Structure 1
């Protein structure tokens, strides 16, 4: 299963870009539905070999080799304070691009471990309601809003907030330590 963003390969019209802004990839973590805007997603891969890295926070599942690049993999269940993801045949790694503080066009590639990917859903901006002030099982700053789908809601994640500045330092250390290991 691979999803590659179409805007990487061609110029989009304003209408196509507006459509993309209302499209979200939906997925499951511990039986709960979440979504991320498709503009943040690079691709989806099946769970494969992940190399664990010692002395990292428990939510950093490890790193993968993606076409020669070291990509950290975050277990979203652990990041949300739940038990670790149980790996099965439907487990996926959603590869996202986060803005890097080094420059406006630089991005950090990061893998998010999820139980299963569902589908791309359309949620118009007016159907994304503010996050609730109570009742969420994850930190409210991780939530961009509640997407209304027919008679149900889906939690729309605020991707840049899922990892704090300190967390990103851990992720960057993974990149640098892997580069040093490759040089030896």
Structure 2
């Protein structure tokens, strides 16, 4: 469950920065502290691996480190979009493991105050609310905030060697 912040708390100390990216014409945000780097997507640099889930594009060699690459469009059951010059791989550092996620484009870094973050809606879908930290609003933008650590360490992703316990 997401913590509820009260007005008596120091809002400036609780500001959060999110890397904003697009998937199927919707904006999403992930904790900027999980991001290691952003790279252009080159499908020729990704080696496909047999018998892995369809959302795993394969692996790539990032300066000597073999990195699994996940297509978030496939993982989140979104419409298929062709890869173009805007498609990027966000390189994440999750529990000392490097993982790449393919997204349509990265737009910016957005700072949100707790008052700008609403609780995640509860609904049944392929993308369980357990992977959402909330909905962020800034001016006329609405961002779906993803708990990228919970998503990448989930059992069905099979990307982390050891089992990570999540407190609900």
1:1-184 superposed matches below 5 A:
18=13, 22-48=16-42, 49-99=45-95, 107-134=96-123, 138-163=127-152, 164-168=154-158, 170=159, 172=161
Task: Using structure 2 for the length normalisation, give the TM-score.
Answer: 0.79
Structure 1 window deviating more from structure 2 (144-153 vs 66-75): it is: 144-153
The answer as to whether partners of 1:72 and 1:171 remain within 8 angstroms in 2 is no
Alpha-carbon offset, residue 136 of structure 1: 7.0
Relative contact order (alpha carbons < 8 A, sep ≥ 6): 1 or 2 greater? 2
Alpha carbons of structure 1 residues 126 and 135: separation in structure 2 relative to 1, 3 Å: farther
CA distance in structure 1 between the aligned counterparts of 2:38 and 2:115, rounded to whole angstroms: 27
Task: Using structure 1 for the length normalisation, give the TM-score.
Answer: 0.72
Q: 1:90 aligns to what SS in structure 2?
A: coil
CA distance in structure 2 between the aligned counterparts of 1:26 and 1:137, rounded to whole angstroms: 21
User: Runs of 5+ in structure 2 lacking a partner?
Assistant: 1-12, 162-168
CA distance in structure 2 between the aligned counterparts of 1:116 and 1:149, rounded to whole angstroms: 19
The answer as to whether partners of 2:97 and 2:160 remain within 8 angstroms in 1 is no
Alpha-carbon offset, residue 50 of structure 1: 0.9
What RMSD in Å do the two structures reach over aligned CA positions? 2.2
CA distance in structure 1 between the aligned counterparts of 2:125 and 2:107, rounded to whole angstroms: 21
Higher helix share: 1
The answer for the alignment partner of 1:182 in structure 2 is: none
Q: 2:157 aligns to what SS in structure 1?
A: helix
User: Runs of 5+ in structure 1 lacking a partner?
Assistant: 1-17, 100-106, 173-184
For residues 20-49 of structure 1, the C-alpha deviation after alignment (integer angstroms, 9 at most, x for no partner) is x51111000111110111111011011121
